Amino acid sequence: VQRFQRDPLPQGTSTDEMARFFEERVAVLERHFPPSVAQVYALPRLGSDASLEWWTSQEGAVTPFASLNETQQKALLARHAEHQAQLQSLARSLDARGMAPQANLVRSLQSRADPASMFSVEGHLLLTQGMPAPAAAPPSRRRWLWIALPLFLLLLLLALLCWWLWMRPAVPVPPAQTVPPAQIAPEPAAPPAKAEPDDKNWPTELVIVLDTSAAMNERAGQGSPSRAELASREIERLSQGLPSKTTAHLVRYGGGECRAPTYQGPFPASDRGQMLSAVKQSDNGGKASLGASLRRAAEAVDGKSRDALIFVFAGGPDRCDEDVCAVARELHAKQPRLRINQVDLTGQKNLDPCVAQETQGNAYTWGDHKGQSVDLSAEARKLLDAK
């Protein structure tokens, strides 16, 4: 945990209230997302000199948005948009499960990108925004005098009116008729609150990793379509067979000279068409960043208290000096419930199956079954629909 900023404490601001605001909402994120999602929010503390201190559990150098170059700023804004989409998807999922209070807590964290409250921790997003507005300062005593004077004059006028009515001769008034009280039906008892479902009922999360390097322009074999066409076809078949409760994510290679991979999602069942459009519109070029893409895919899911599955469609090995076997071991140690299935589209078994073996997943090679593409949809549905 590190402190990265100190601000003057605004008048009327309660650091305890600010801390409770975040802790309650971050607890919901920690329950349903990997730690990296909750770590987006910095925590406020009261400094020894009555200043407002901001702390984070993220490790690394913290850089304000204004100090980043243009490329880094664009990348951080993209991370912010991804984070907002994750919050929106979680809120919808909680609503669908009858957990409206938790959904409202998540929605209260949604915000527009504000460069003044955005920081980068070696490429990862960090925010100091989303706090409730500080309480207004109490009005001055002089203001209270101006408010009380009209009230005093009104009371004086009412007193004079009562005195005048009291001094008038009394007029006999006929006795009022007694009216029996109306029978008021008792209010129906409120229905019992729905118990929060156990995390065991949450469906398996799915991430599709798509190779978009130059190798995908090559053919998988003589007379076969390009590797990119094969991947697009298989991902479409896979998507059509997914259970309705499955939420999918998409990670594509960054291209160029080992640029950072790109993430899109999450995609609930109603938005899978958008995911398929993104797959079909992919441009293939540059080097293959398989290791970095696996790490980015793992960030999008839990893999600890909740099952997760990554499907990799690769047209060749990593070309960015990454030991993908070591990456797979590292991910399995941190997220033991995360499995990786690897589809080798080279047609020549050029990919090391260790990525799948280290995570208890499966490895496939296109062309193993008499020249036909591997049928992945049936097994994927079995794995994802197991809950």
Mean pLDDT of the chain: 79
Distance (Å, whole) CA 103 – CA 92: 7
Are residues 313 and 342 in contact, defined by beta-carbon separation less than 8 angstroms? no
Sequence-ordered list of residues with C-beta below 8 angstroms from that of 220, at least 6 positions apart, any chain = 226, 227, 230, 345, 346, 347, 366, 367
Distance (Å, whole) CA 327 – CA 341: 14
Each residue's pLDDT tens digit, 3-18: 888 887 766 666 677 7
Predicted confidence (pLDDT) at residue 195 exceeds the cutoff of 60: no
Predicted confidence (pLDDT) at residue 311 exceeds the cutoff of 90: yes
Q: Residue 182: what pLDDT?
A: 53
Each residue's pLDDT tens digit, 347-377: 877 788 899 999 999 888 876 544 444 556 6
What phi-psi label fits residue 34: left (phi over 0), alpha (psi between -120 and 50 degrees) or beta?
Answer: beta
Q: Residue 141: what pLDDT?
A: 52
Q: How would residue 232 be classed by pLDDT, with cut points 50, 70 and 90? A: very high
Residue whose pair of structure tokens reads 């009022």 in the numeric block: 176
Q: Residue 250: what pLDDT?
A: 93
* Residue 372 DSSP symbol: B
Distance (Å, whole) CA 255 – CA 153: 78
Q: How would residue 154 be classed by pLDDT, with cut points 50, 70 and 90? A: confident
Each residue's pLDDT tens digit, 319-338: 998 999 999 999 999 999 99
Distance (Å, whole) CA 151 – CA 49: 43
Are residues 377 and 384 in contact, defined by beta-carbon separation less than 8 angstroms? no
All domains in the chain, ordered by first residue: 2-127 (no CATH), 205-385 (3.40.50.410)
What percent of the chain is helix, strand and coil (3-state, nearest 5)? 40, 15, 40
- Residue type at 288 in one-letter notation: A
Predicted confidence (pLDDT) at residue 257 exceeds the cutoff of 80: yes
Query: What percentage of the chain has pLDDT greater than the value 90?
Result: 27
Q: Residue 180: what pLDDT?
A: 56
Q: Residue 33: what pLDDT?
A: 67
